[in-house]
Structures are given as structure tokens and as C-alpha cells.
Amino acid sequence: MLQTNPSTSPPPMVSLSAAGVRRKGRWLVRGVDFSIARGEIVTLIGPNGSGKSTTAKMAIGVTRPDEGHVTRIPNLRVGYVPQKLAIDWTMPLTVDRLMTLTQPLRGRDIDAALEATGIRHLARAEVQHLSGGEFQRALLARAIARKPDLLVLDEPVQGVDFAGEIALYDLIKTIRNTTGCGILLISHDLHVVMAETDTVICLNGHVCCRGTPEAVSRSPEYLRLFGARAGQTLAFYSHHHDHTHLPDGRVLHSDGTVTDHCHPDDGHHHEEGLPAGRAGPMRIVHAHGPTCGCGQHGDEKPAANTGPLQERGDA
Amino acid sequence: MLDDFFIRALLAGTGLALTTGPLGCFVIWRRMAYFGDTMAHSALLGVALSLLFQMNLTISVFAVAAIVSLALLLLQKRGSLSTDALLGILSHATLATGLVIVSFMTWVRIDLVGFLFGDILAVTPQDVSLVWGGGILVLFAIVYLWRPLIASTVNPELAAAEGLEPERARLAFMLLMALVIAIAMKIVGILLITSLLIIPAATARRFSASPEVMAVLASLLGAIAVAGGLFGSLKFDTPSGPSIVVAALAIFLFSLLPWRRRAEEGAIQADTGGHH
């Protein structure tokens, strides 16, 4: 209801509206609105404990929302790569056998998925003997082999080195382009996302902000660091929040006020570029302009932010 | 040379081992050894209640074991105590309550040792048909539920996301455990049931390349242990239930001998595509 979908866009496979999950008297996440259509890539970002995985689990029906609604088209075929998956040493499981964990598959579909993820030579290996990166590829291969309508990848590049990360994102892009499936991606990185992402949603117990990523290739600094190939695959989502979540659950706003909860229009000061404290090689100063395409300018706030306003006057 | 009672014991024991093989694999994979023990201990409460209310023994043992496993599920959801503390409470509370109830019933003579350690040489033809009838039911259920059971053992959320209903599989697994415990009680006894679940499966692990192979192998190794234990019991005049467990242990120890090492290295080499 909050997103204004042009009539040309395909109908969503999954949509969440004002969805939230409450555990032991605490809201893990609430007020989540988004939808995923066929061929669309949605990336969830946010700090640890911000409700990314919970949101993904709500979207695919593993976790039921305690408020709001989640609707899925009937017989939606999901391919899921969970964030944590530890296979007990006592279970003998080869990569080949892992592929048919949730459904029987044809041999050539298995081979194609292993080939695509570059682990065909490991088909007979026990999963417990794989390295972190190989295991992630095996899980991805398993998820794509069943030809899902919606691929849900919870930090798929964890344990994968930078070159491998680029390769995996390239692969995910190829999967989307060839099969037309929708992809819900959870990124461990707060600022660098896959370039093909259609919508980035930043969570911190609620939807902090959303927008489109900006091509990394526009930044000469980034290109110098990681090369043109990375520039085609990665993008950054530069954003700066105007409030901080305190350890006791209250919210500190940039104007110095402290409130019990976030407010619907708690937004971001994009004009300020990246937060000053940001360290490391990814530091890129981004100045917004009319053509930057990030869609998150102060003067064109999305409809979501014009909802019921709170009493507090923001600076 | 083989007496009739011995044939019956052999039939009952091997029939039981065929069902404990695959179930035992799940007990190991899901790290539920102590859980199996708790359900087995609760069988004595089932025995006591069946005597008290004059109900069918197998049905009341099954019912109590099933109720205990459901109670554990509910207590786990409340989350105030850790699972192993809850299991410790349920396990010994049901065993002790059963013993106390039995001691109150001065009018019944009960062979407590037979219940605790099994009396396989006393199985009746009805017992044999119960073992095989129940066993075939359990095996059919396991085959039917195999994929959801394996998938939810690997990761319940993954299974749920891809439409395999892990909660249903888990419930079915607990009921199957309760059924096998009710069947197994007469054969190896309350205190030794878990060993017939765990030892053959643990032995099979080292020789298996897939969950399916491990399940079948555990059944076969269990059947061999039952046969070996029974022959030993006949030859050395030792109690049958413990003899079966000792035979299972002997096979397990045999599987640990150094000759395995070479085969294992071979397997690892094959795994990595022969790079070594």
C-alpha cells in the first residue's frame, strides 16, 4: 500500500505489509513493507540483529508475522540458503546428496547447478570437508538446482573471498537473467551491494530507508581499488541515518532528542554523504545530484515518509 | 539343536534391530541420545499404569512415552530450563514414579528385572508378531517421511522454506520412537533400549557415504549384534539383553581397529578428486 507500483510492473510474488515479529515481549522487526516480483532483486541490509533474517523468514513463511500481513502467490517455489547451516559430523552427506535434500532432481539439473557454481569437481566430497566458500557455493547450487521462483539468499557470500564474492554476484545476476526468478538477498555489508539490485532496504528493527543502489563504476576511487570488473558487479548504497538505536532500545535522534521508538519518518540525511566515521577502503564520498539516480533526495521523499506524522519536530 | 524359544527370540530381536537402525541414525544426527533415554525410562511408568488400570501393556507404554515427548516439547517452548535439565527431570521422575507405583501394588507380582533389562528368551509368538507388525509399520513410516525427516534434520528452516513441514516430521519421529520403545521394552529392557538405537548407528557411520547407506547398515549391524548376543547368551548362560548390548559394543570396537584407517584415507582421497 505504501509503494506506488506503476501499472507496467509485474504482480508481486511475495508482499509484506506492516509485518512484524515479536519474541519474548520484544519486537525483532516491525512495520516492514516491500514486495518482490519476478525478475526483481531486493537486497536487505542493516546491522547485526536488525531483523534482516527474520524479515526474510517472514517473506517465505518460515516465521509467521505477529502483526501485519504477508501474502504469497500459491505454490511459490522457494530456494533458500540460510545464514547458518551446520551439518552434524555424524551425518554422511556428499555434495551430490545435498542437492536432492528437499526434492528429487534430474542428474543434468544437478550437474548444471554444480557447474554454474564451479564446484562440479566436488560432487562426491563430503560437505563437512568443504571450506567455507565451497560450502556456500554448494548451498547456492542446491537452491538453484530446484529452479525456484524466488531465491532467498541469507548472506550468500560469507566466507567467500573478494574475487569469489564478485563471481558469486555475477552468478546470481546470471541466474536472474536466465531464469527470471525473483531474488531476496541479505547482504552482510552495510554499504556495498550487488549492482543489479533493484531495491535496497535498510533495516534496523524497522525499515530505516530504501532506495536504489548507485553504480560503483561511477566512482573512480572505487574502480582504482577493485578494478572495472568489480565495478560492474558491485554498487554502493550510501546513506546516513539521523538516529541511533541505543542499547536499552530507545532511539537517539540527531537533534539530540531521545524517544522510545522510531517514528515513521525517521529518515536519512543523504545530502551529508557517508558517515564521517566510516573507515576502510570503501570510503567514498558521494555527492547527490539530480542525475545520481539514488532516488533518496530530501526533496523527493518517497510516499512512505508522508504517512502519519508524529508530534516531534525534526531538525 | 535350536529350541523353539530361541528361534522366537532370534526373530523378535532381529525384527527389532531392523527398526532401531534408521531411528537410531536420527537419534545420533539430531543429538537426541538423552532424549531417547528419557522416553525409554518413562516406559516403566507406562508399565506401572498398565498394571494399575489393567490396560494393554504395549499401548500404555506407547502412550506414556508419547506424552512425555510432547510434554518435553511444551516445556522447551516455555524456555525456562535447558533441554538437558528438563530431560534429567522427566527421565528420572517417570522412572521413579513408576517404581513407586509398582511398589504400592502388593497384589501384583512383577518381574522388575525383566522390564529393566529385558527377557528376550521369554517372548511369545504374539510378541514376535507384534515386533514384526509394528516394525513393518515403523519402517513404512520412515520410508514415507524420509525426505522431510532428513531435510529437517539438516535444517528445519530450510525444510520449512521449501515446503516440507518439519514440525510434522518431528512429531511423527517422536511417535515412532515411542512405538519402538514400547516394542523393544520386552526384548532389551528399559535401561538398554537406547544402546540398541545408538551403538549400531554409530558403528555404521564410519562405513557410510550417505544417510541411506548408514540407515540400512545400522539395521544390519543391529541384527548381527542381536544374533551374536543371543548365541553368546545361550553359550555362556549370560542375561540376554545385556549380552546383545555387549555384542553391539564388540562390533563397534572392532570397527575402530586400525585397519579402518587405510580405507578412510582412501575415502577422503576419493572425496577430493584424488588430488593427494
**Contact across the interface for B271 and A60, Cβ inside 8 Å:** no
Q: Is B211 on the interface with A (CB under 8 A)?
A: yes
Q: Is B114 on the interface with A (CB under 8 A)?
A: no
> Quick one: pLDDT band at residue B60, thresholds 50, 70, 90?
very high
> Quick one: pLDDT band at residue A298, thresholds 50, 70, 90?
very low
Q: Which CATH class is domain B4-256?
A: mainly alpha
Chain B residue numbers with beta carbons less than 8 Å from the beta carbon of A80 are 157-158, 161-162
Least CA distance to A95: which residue of chain B?
B271
**Rounded to a whole number, what is the distance in Å from the CA of A84 to chain B's nearest CA?**
9
Chain B residue numbers with beta carbons less than 8 Å from the beta carbon of A97 are 210-211
* pLDDT for position A8: 57
**Contact across the interface for B208 and A92, Cβ inside 8 Å:** yes
* Residue A114 is assigned to a structural domain of this protein: no
Q: Mind listing the pLDDT tens digit for each residue in B15-51?
A: 999 999 999 999 999 998 899 999 999 999 999 999 9
**Contact across the interface for A125 and B147, Cβ inside 8 Å:** no
* pLDDT for position A188: 75
Q: Which of B157, B211, B271 comes nearest A62 by C-beta?
A: B157
Least CA distance to A84: which residue of chain B?
B155
Least CA distance to B167: which residue of chain A?
A62
**Contact across the interface for B147 and A103, Cβ inside 8 Å:** yes
* pLDDT for position B3: 58
> Quick one: pLDDT band at residue B232, thresholds 50, 70, 90?
very high
Q: Is the pLDDT of residue A186 over 90?
A: yes
**Rounded to a whole number, what is the distance in Å from the CA of B37 to chain A's nearest CA?**
19
For the ranges A103-107, A139-143, B221-225, B268-272, which has the lowest average pLDDT? B268-272
**Rounded to a whole number, what is the distance in Å from the CA of A126 to chain B's nearest CA?**
7
The percent of residues in chain B predicted with pLDDT above 90, rounded, is: 58
Q: Is A285 on the interface with B (CB under 8 A)?
A: no
* pLDDT for position A245: 66
Range of the domain at A250: 12-77+148-298
For chain B, the average pLDDT equals 88
Among A282, A126, A117, which Cα is nearest to A191's?
A282
* pLDDT for position A249: 62
* pLDDT for position B110: 79
How many contacts, defined by CB atoms under 8 Å, are there between A and B? 83
* Residue A224 is assigned to a structural domain of this protein: yes
> Quick one: pLDDT band at residue A219, thresholds 50, 70, 90?
low
Q: Is B28 on the interface with A (CB under 8 A)?
A: yes
* pLDDT for position A24: 82
**Rounded to a whole number, what is the distance in Å from the CA of A143 to chain B's nearest CA?**
10
Q: Are A213 and A236 in contact (CB under 8 A)?
A: yes
Q: Is the pLDDT of residue A304 over 50?
A: no
* pLDDT for position A82: 93
Q: Which of B30, B161, B273 comes nearest A78 by C-beta?
A: B161
* pLDDT for position B250: 96
Q: Is the pLDDT of residue A315 over 70?
A: no
Q: Mind listing the pLDDT tens digit for each residue in A3-50?
A: 444 445 678 999 999 999 998 888 999 899 999 999 999 999 888 888
* pLDDT for position A269: 38
Q: Is the pLDDT of residue A92 over 90?
A: yes
Q: Are B28 and B13 in contact (CB under 8 A)?
A: no
Chain A residue numbers with beta carbons less than 8 Å from the beta carbon of B158 are 80, 82, 85, 101-102
* pLDDT for position B27: 94
Q: Is the pLDDT of residue A275 over 60?
A: no
* Residue A126 is assigned to a structural domain of this protein: no
Q: Mind listing the pLDDT tens digit for each residue in B68-94?
A: 989 888 887 777 788 888 889 999 999
* pLDDT for position A228: 62
> Quick one: pLDDT band at residue A133, thresholds 50, 70, 90?
confident
* pLDDT for position A243: 67
Q: Are A39 and A180 in contact (CB under 8 A)?
A: yes
What is the DSSP secondary-structure string of B210-237? SHHHHHHHHHHHHHHHHHHHHHHHHHHT
> Quick one: pLDDT band at residue A227, thresholds 50, 70, 90?
low
* Cα Dmax for chain B: 72
Q: Is the pLDDT of residue A285 over 50?
A: no
* Residue A256 is assigned to a structural domain of this protein: yes
**Contact across the interface for B157 and A152, Cβ inside 8 Å:** no
For chain A, the average pLDDT equals 76
Alpha-carbon distance A153 to A22, whole Å?
23
> Within 13 Å of residue B207, how many CA atoms lie on the same side as its CB?
21
Q: Which of B154, B205, B272 comes nearest A125 by C-beta?
A: B272
One-letter identity of residue A108: R
**Rounded to a whole number, what is the distance in Å from the CA of B86 to chain A's nearest CA?**
20
Which residues 85-114 on chain A approach chain B with CB closer than 8 angstroms? 85, 87-88, 90-94, 97-98, 101-103
The percent of residues in chain B predicted with pLDDT above 70, rounded, is: 92
The percent of residues in chain A predicted with pLDDT above 90, rounded, is: 37
**Rounded to a whole number, what is the distance in Å from the CA of B26 to chain A's nearest CA?**
9
* pLDDT for position A241: 63
Alpha-carbon distance B222 to B214, whole Å?
12
Q: Does ipTM exceed 0.90?
A: no
**Rounded to a whole number, what is the distance in Å from the CA of A261 to chain B's nearest CA?**
27
For the ranges A79-83, A230-234, B112-116, B187-191, which has the lowest average pLDDT? A230-234
* Residue A261 is assigned to a structural domain of this protein: yes
Q: Is the pLDDT of residue A295 over 70?
A: no
* pLDDT for position A311: 36
Mean pLDDT for A55-82 is 93
Mean pLDDT for A236-249 is 65
* pLDDT for position A164: 81
Least CA distance to B211: which residue of chain A?
A92
Mean pLDDT for B91-119 is 87
A276 exposure class (CB count in 10 Å sphere: 0-12, 13-18, 19+)? exposed
**In whole angstroms, what separates CA B211 from the centre of its chain?**
17
Among A77, A113, A118, which Cα is nearest to A98's?
A113
Q: Is the pLDDT of residue B179 over 80?
A: yes
Domain count, chain A: 1
Q: Is A26 on the interface with B (CB under 8 A)?
A: no
> Quick one: pLDDT band at residue B223, thresholds 50, 70, 90?
very high
Question: Of residues A138 and B107, which shows the higher confidence score?
Answer: A138
Q: Is A20 on the interface with B (CB under 8 A)?
A: no
* pLDDT for position A230: 61
Q: Is the pLDDT of residue A98 over 90?
A: yes
* Residue A17 is assigned to a structural domain of this protein: yes
Q: Is the pLDDT of residue A284 over 70?
A: no
Mean pLDDT for A55-84 is 93
* pLDDT for position A41: 92
Alpha-carbon distance A234 to A215, whole Å?
7
* Residue A213 is assigned to a structural domain of this protein: yes
A66: domain CATH number is: 3.40.50.300
C-alpha cell at A57: 523468514
For the ranges A43-52, A206-215, A288-297, which has the lowest average pLDDT? A288-297
Best probe of the A interface among B29, B77, B145, B162, by most A CBs < 10 A, is: B162
Q: Are B201 and B24 in contact (CB under 8 A)?
A: yes
Q: Are B184 and B127 in contact (CB under 8 A)?
A: no
Query: What pairs with residue A258 in β-bridges?
Result: A252
Q: Is B147 on the interface with A (CB under 8 A)?
A: yes
* Residue A61 is assigned to a structural domain of this protein: yes
Q: What does the DSSP 8-state code read for residue B145?
A: H
Chain B residue numbers with beta carbons less than 8 Å from the beta carbon of A186 are none
- CB under 8 Å to B248, separation ≥6 — which residues? B195, B196, B199, B200, B203, B221, B222, B225, B229
Range A109-112, long-range pairs (CB < 8 A, 24+ positions)? A109/A145, A109/A147, A110/A145, A112/A145
* pLDDT for position A305: 36
For the ranges A76-85, A278-287, B45-54, B128-137, which has the lowest average pLDDT? A278-287
